[in-house]
Structure 1
């Protein structure tokens, strides 16, 4: 009897930790269905009795499987298709007028002319920048030459003074 009690207590511990198998749960249900339940485990008896009863319950009413269609949804889908078709067909018939096309072309040409002027100004600025770089390079060469001339002058003065 002590061996069975230890086994039941271990199963209850596993059950509380949600670690039991279906076979072990069946053993617990069978144990608590008997009248020979230990006094310190009596409070588990109603729990397992409830599980045994609820397992036998069945739903006996018929479940309706037919759906009710309303005509409103059908008309909404027809309206949606009509709007979609109008959205695709109408723009091909009703396009921009000749005057709108001429105005768009004029605006396009003016924009291209303005961008061309900006491009010319940028290219001129680039050429002036290149000229400044060339002047800067020549100035640096002149400064280097003056430095060499100064060094040459010092050296020649030393030579002539020493003689």
Structure 2
């Protein structure tokens, strides 16, 4: 490999712009025994990376027995009960509002009928007043 190419790849490597293939070229170069003297300081680093690839985790990790999550299910049940009660409360309030509105309509209908009945009597009074005005006007003249 060309030494200038390796130096350029090292610069790119430390700038974190190398590709996987370029990193493999660097790995192959530094795994050789004859490395340029001014680049020998990087050889242990790349050898360490090669060694890390071969390592495996061999310790046993004890797993704790799975605890039953009663608290989680209790909280789910509590949320269900809360939302259900809110729904039924809202439904009951809406039902009561509809009932109150129906009673209001009935009351207003009765008020309207009584008002119309009274208005018809006022109409008779208006005719009576008009007739009396005609009588008094003709007497005064």
Instruction: Choose which of 23, 34, 45 in structure 1 pairs with 2:21.
Output: 23
Q: TM-score, normalised by structure 1?
A: 0.47
Q: Given the superposition, is the C-alpha separation of residues 39 and 82 from structure 1 closer, same or farther in structure 2, using an over 3 Å criterion?
A: same
| Structure having greater relative contact order (Cα 8 Å, sep ≥ 6) | 2
1:57 maps to which of 51, 55, 61 = 55
Aligned counterparts, 1:14-163, within 5 A: 14-60=12-58, 68-93=67-92
Distance in 2 of aligned mates of 1:11 and 1:92: 72
In the superposition, relative to structure 1, how do residues 87 and 33 fare at CA in structure 2: closer, same or farther (>3 Å)?
Answer: same
CA distance in 1, matches of 2:31, 2:68: 51
Per the normalisation by structure 2, the TM-score is 0.53
Q: Which runs of 5+ in 2 are unaligned?
A: 105-141
Give 5+ residue unaligned stretches, structure 1.
106-163
Residue 85 and residue 55 in structure 1: after superposition, are their counterparts in 2 closer, same or farther (change >3 A)?
same
Aligned residue pairs, count: 98
In structure 2, C-alpha distance between the alignment counterparts of 1:20 and 1:57, rounded to whole Å: 24
Provide the aligned C-alpha RMSD in A.
3.2
Q: Residue 127 of structure 1 aligns with which residue?
A: none
Q: Which moved more, 1:35-44 or 1:52-61?
A: 52-61
CA distance in 2, matches of 1:7, 1:86: 74
Residues 88/24 of structure 1: CA separation in 2 closer, same or farther (3 Å cut): closer
Cross-structure match for 1:12: 10
Query: Equivalent residue for 1:161?
Result: none
State how far apart, in whole Å, the 2-side matches of 1:90 and 1:21 are: 63
| Cα distance, 1:21 vs structure 2 | 2.2
SS class of match (2:5): helix
